Structure 1
Amino acid sequence: MAQQLRPETFAAITELFQRTSGIRLVESKQALVFGRLQKLALDHGAADVETFAQRVIKGQVSERVLVDVIDRLTTNETYFFREPQHFDELRARTKARAKTAEWTVWSAASSSGEEAYSIAMLLAECLGLTAAWRVIGTDLSTAMVAAAQKALYSLERARNVPEPYLKDYCLKGHGPYEGQLLIARPVRAHVQFLCANLMQPLPPELPEFDVIFLRNVLIYFDAEAKAAIVRRVIEKLKPDGVLYVGHAESLTNLNLPLRTVAPATYQHA
């Protein structure tokens, strides 16, 4: 049985995916695409992945199935307190603020919520749970937004969460939830998740932000799309706000109105 799509099928799926999400899937992602479509093909009764992919390309599936395909292909591996230098910088920046000031942070590609809840636990430590702060997470994938809203994670995925945070802001599961943790309700009360496609106009309910995390998402886009996304995102960045991108990502040569203030850290120029 073939373990990859025909080249013309992969090209058509790539074109459809880019048109829908803005993300260009390169040839090296063939195996990943095949693997992620395989379970969907079984779930929807297709004889094989190639047949299922052809149905998707020809528009012979429902909008719900198309959304499932986009969700499956955009799912990104993430974990708590990824790239800890940004969290150290955020802690220092947060502690320098008056606790009475409102503090808004955006996790712009929040996936299943680990980044947003990492931010929230840090703000809870620095500002307290009664202070006026909030975190908004957005993601293209409706499935990821739904998972983030549940706030339920395996202990294995929480291995980078500091012990005091586990004690103060998380609940360990018992019985059927053994091996899992739930982000505590007082922390969750400060966090909201929305669906948003960064290649399209942003949800009108998004406020201006003091801090924006736009990490490990720009690697999926070409230079033109990167610049468009960053320009759109920084429209929501306050004049003295800060933007974090992934340390493997570069905004060099994109002609953006930003200045570097630390590695992978930017402010308005």
Structure 2
Amino acid sequence: MTMLSKNSFQAVTTMFRQVSGIQLSDAKQALVAGRLQKLAQARGVRDVDAYVELLMREGDAQELVKVVDKLTTNETYFFREPQHFEHLKRMLAERRAGAAGGDFRVWSAASSSGEEAYSIAMVLGEHFGLRGWQVIGTDLSTAMVDTARRGLYPLERARLTPTPLLKRWCLKGHGDNTGKLMVAPELRQLVRFECANLTRTLPEIGQFDLVFLRNVLIYFDNPGKADIVKRVLTRLKPDGLLFTGHAESIANLGIPTVAVAPAVYRHA
């Protein structure tokens, strides 16, 4: 594999930071080189540095989107950090079915390829049935949003999914889709995905009872984290809950929130 020069790495990471708000460390140089190599080959450019030079010279918007997609692709799986889903189940059990206030709405704010959003949807489907709720998933990557909308995944991604939920809400693939699962159409219709950059003005997606903002803050410094959390909290209802990754903490960001469970917060 062609190595990426320091100058090319800095050029790409500067562009990526401007677009995404994420600063990639020098330790990510090999990862960036590997992902750019595939894009270079697709463009018929053998040398990664030459591809970066082409990218910067042409400023092709579609090619820049491909770069951002490649650099933000992270594998995830259904029911990751299961403690949060247990908390969600307990909360729903205490909530009176059909309570006033309209549909119960959840935002998966960094939904990647959609497994988190569909995991939430399965729990809501078990509680509410197929009415009275909605899940919105957003991600920076257009490729991840497209994958999420399809709802087709390797079976390995469902290794933590409770068997009853897997049987009720997923279809097992056959033929060309052997070894895969598809989220059932009736569940998919209640989950909407669109692109959003959490470091920029958020799309008009309304207010939410719950926001899952998990495993994205780790990519930002404290000012960047605070900026994102403040922006996201404007979409959380006064009595709503914010879920962050268990390896992430917002306690030192000076934001008026109160922890109600590990990595679960509400407005102060």
Q: Which amino acid aligns with 2:117?
A: A
- Indicate the residue corresponding to 2:199 in structure 1: 199
RMSD: 1.1
- Indicate the residue corresponding to 2:164 in structure 1: 164
- Indicate the residue corresponding to 1:179 in structure 2: 179
- Indicate the residue corresponding to 1:143 in structure 2: 143
Tell me the CA shift for residue 2 of structure 1. 3.9
Q: TM-score, normalised by structure 1?
A: 0.96
Kindly provide the CA deviation profile for residues 91-110 of structure 1, in whole angstroms up to 9, marking residues without a partner as x: 11112112213210000000
Which contiguous aligned blocks of 4+ residues in structure 1 show a shift greater than 2 angstroms? none
Q: Does 1:111 find its partner at 2:112?
A: yes
CA contact (8 A) 2:2 2:37 kept: no
Secondary structure of the residue aligned to 1:181 is: strand
- Indicate the residue corresponding to 1:91 in structure 2: 89
- Indicate the residue corresponding to 1:47 in structure 2: 46
Distance 1:100 1:61, change over 3 A: same
Comparing 47-56 and 183-192, the one that deviates more: 47-56
Residue segments in structure 2 that go unaligned for 5+ positions in a row:
none
Tell me how far apart the structure 2 counterparts of residues 93 and 127 of structure 1 sit (CA, whole Å). 13
Tell me the CA shift for residue 171 of structure 1. 0.6
Tell me how far apart the structure 2 counterparts of residues 54 and 99 of structure 1 sit (CA, whole Å). 58
Q: TM-score, normalised by structure 2?
A: 0.96
- Indicate the residue corresponding to 1:6 in structure 2: 5
- Indicate the residue corresponding to 1:19 in structure 2: 18
Q: Does 1:126 find its partner at 2:145?
A: no
Q: Which amino acid aligns with 1:63?
A: A
CA contact (8 A) 2:215 2:244 kept: yes
Q: Does 1:189 find its partner at 2:195?
A: no
Tell me how far apart the structure 1 counterparts of residues 79 and 88 of structure 2 sit (CA, whole Å). 12
Secondary structure of the residue aligned to 2:237 is: strand
- Indicate the residue corresponding to 2:243 in structure 1: 244
Kindly provide the CA deviation profile for residues 138-166 of structure 1, in whole angstroms up to 9, marking residues without a partner as x: 00000000000000011111111111011
Tell me how far apart the structure 1 counterparts of residues 166 and 40 of structure 2 sit (CA, whole Å). 39
- Indicate the residue corresponding to 2:229 in structure 1: 230
Secondary structure of the residue aligned to 1:240 is: strand
Aligned positions of 1:204-219 closer than 5 A = 204=204, 206-219=205-218
Q: Which amino acid aligns with 1:218?
A: L
Tell me how far apart the structure 2 counterparts of residues 126 and 132 of structure 1 sit (CA, whole Å). 10
Tell me how far apart the structure 1 counterparts of residues 95 and 173 of structure 2 sit (CA, whole Å). 35
- Indicate the residue corresponding to 1:62 in structure 2: 60
Comparing 20-29 and 157-166, the one that deviates more: 157-166
Secondary structure of the residue aligned to 2:253 is: coil
Kindly provide the CA deviation profile for residues 63-102 of structure 1, in whole angstroms up to 9, marking residues without a partner as x: 1111000010011221110000100001111121122132
CA contact (8 A) 2:2 2:47 kept: no
- Indicate the residue corresponding to 2:70 in structure 1: 72
Q: Which amino acid aligns with 1:67?
A: V
Kindly provide the CA deviation profile for residues 102-140 of structure 1, in whole angstroms up to 9, marking residues without a partner as x: 2100000000000000000011112212x3101000000
Tell me how far apart the structure 2 counterparts of residues 8 and 175 of structure 1 sit (CA, whole Å). 47
Tell me how far apart the structure 1 counterparts of residues 161 and 48 of structure 2 sit (CA, whole Å). 38
Tell me the CA shift for residue 61 of structure 1. 4.6
Tell me the CA shift for residue 252 of structure 1. 2.5
| Identity between Structure 1 and Structure 2 (%) | 56
